[in-house]
């Protein structure tokens, strides 16, 4: 009986020890799966290879890196280069704690600094403010944070190769000293009316920041004085802000009322065929400024510019 008791006691202690080791192993494994990164909110710990990502504005970066998105609060449209990667059942109606928690993320990626405190108890929050980095830097940060550096660098390399070639094309004598405008007709009435000018949206990041093309001098002055990177111009004065080359965005299902006016025909860029009309269905292509979107925009834009008349 004594031998039996000793054996049972030994087995119990062995089981206890093994269980403790197993728990310790799991805990160590959990710790080793995290790493520390520098962010706009300081040093934070995030999963080395997140399995369930929730994201808002940076959806293009995340989908391009083939991360598993269990929740997103963003717009999707069929001309976006990563449209097929949108998960059909993961759209969040609201960017709120309850909706995010239901998506059970192990990483939240956002552009809003306030989300760090709001959602930090749900999962680690990677904040990348829009003004702090450009599109290439942002993709590199997300890639490094999520174990997708190799994929990020491949996307960046492809974009930069095409960008270099495009810049060489636009340095030819044909384009020397020329100005470029990104414009869209919002109609004669409504909350937003007149001809809208863009400097960041509608491909503005690509045209002005990446390609380094020039805005018309009068538009540049308007932006500096008013501090508005986008706005509208009345039909009466809009023609004064047209550049030598025009990217003219159409609104889906609507004809441009401005293009029916007599003044339209007198604008040199229009009269001489230096205008590319971009159909409304391509609104999605020019919506985001992630590297994948910029690459697709670059292909489209250079082709459009090359197709304009001399």
pLDDT of residue 192: 87
Residue 17 has pLDDT above 80, yes or no: no
Which value, in Å, is the radius of gyration of the alpha carbons in the chain? 26
Structure tokens of 42? 């300081």
pLDDT digits (tens, 9 = 90+) for 268-279: 999 999 999 999
Contact 100, 122 (CB under 8 A): yes
Which residues, 6+ apart, have CB-to-CB distance to 195 below 8 Å? 183, 184, 185, 186, 232, 233, 234, 235, 238, 241, 258
Per DSSP, which regions of the chain are E strands? 34-39, 42-47, 53-55, 69-72, 107-110, 125-127, 180-185, 195-197, 231-233, 245-249, 275-278
Q: Does the pLDDT of residue 288 top 70, yes or no?
A: yes
pLDDT beyond 60 at 238: yes
**pLDDT at residue 37 above 90?**
yes
What mean pLDDT do residues 45-71 have?
Answer: 98
pLDDT of amino acid 16: 42
Enter the pTM of the model: 0.88
Give me the pLDDT at residue 32, please: 52
DSSP for residue 250: P
What pLDDT is attached to residue 31?
Answer: 53
The single-letter DSSP state of residue 214 is B
pLDDT digits (tens, 9 = 90+) for 123-173: 999 999 999 999 999 999 999 999 999 999 999 999 999 999 999 999 899
Residue 310: what pLDDT? 60
Query: 278 with 246: CB under 8 angstroms?
Result: no
- State which H helix or E strand residue 217 sits in: helix 217-226
Looking up tokens 């020329």, which residue turns up? 178
Q: Are 60 and 290 in contact (CB under 8 A)?
A: yes
pLDDT > 80? residue 25: no
Task: Evaluate if residue 252 carries a pLDDT over 70.
Answer: yes
Q: What is the pLDDT of residue 21?
A: 42
pLDDT at 71 (0 to 100): 98
Least confident of 5-14, 55-64, 279-288: 5-14
**Side-chain-side CA neighbours of residue 216 (13 Å):** 18
Q: Please tell me the total number of residues recorded for the chain in this structure.
A: 310
pLDDT tens for 179-210 read: 999 999 999 988 889 999 999 999 999 999 99
Residue 93 has φ and ψ, to the nearest 5°, of -70, -35
Among candidate residues 130, 136, 233, 225, the one with its CA nearest the CA of residue 181 = 233
**So what's the pLDDT on residue 35?**
97
């Amino acid at each position: 009986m004594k031998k039996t008791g000793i054996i049972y006691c030994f087995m119990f202690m062995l089981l206890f020890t093994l269980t403790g080791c197993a728990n310790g192993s799991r805990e160590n494994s959990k710790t080793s799966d995290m790493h520390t990164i520098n962010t706009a909110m300081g040093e934070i710990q995030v999963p080395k290879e997140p399995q369930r990502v929730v994201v808002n504005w940076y959806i293009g970066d995340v989908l391009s890196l083939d991360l598993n998105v269990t929740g997103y609060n963003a717009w999707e449209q069929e001309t976006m280069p990563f449209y097929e990667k949108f998960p059909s059942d993961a759209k969040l109606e609201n960017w709120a704690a309850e909706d995010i928690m239901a998506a059970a993320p192990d990483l939240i990626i956002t552009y809003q600094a306030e989300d760090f405190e709001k959602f930090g108890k749900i999962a680690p929050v990677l904040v990348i403010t829009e003004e702090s980095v450009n599109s290439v830097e942002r993709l590199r940060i997300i890639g490094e944070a999520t174990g997708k550096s190799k994929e990020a660098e491949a996307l960046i390399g492809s974009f930069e190769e095409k960008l270099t070639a495009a810049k060489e094309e636009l340095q030819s004598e044909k384009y020397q000293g020329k100005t470029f405008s990104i414009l869209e007709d919002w109609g004669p009435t409504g909350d937003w009316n007149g001809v809208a000018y863009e400097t960041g949206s509608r491909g503005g990041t690509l045209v002005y920041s990446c390609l380094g093309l020039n805005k018309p001098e009068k538009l540049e002055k308007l932006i500096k004085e008013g501090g508005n990177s986008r706005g509208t111009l009345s039909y009466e004065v809009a023609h004064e802000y047209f550049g030598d080359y025009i990217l003219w965005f159409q609104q889906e299902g609507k004809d441009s009322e401005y293009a029916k006016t007599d003044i339209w025909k007198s604008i040199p860029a229009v009269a001489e065929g230096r205008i590319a009309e971009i159909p409304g269905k391509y609104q999605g292509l020019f919506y985001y400024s992630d590297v994948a979107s910029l690459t697709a925009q670059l292909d489209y834009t250079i082709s459009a510019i090359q197709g304009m008349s001399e």
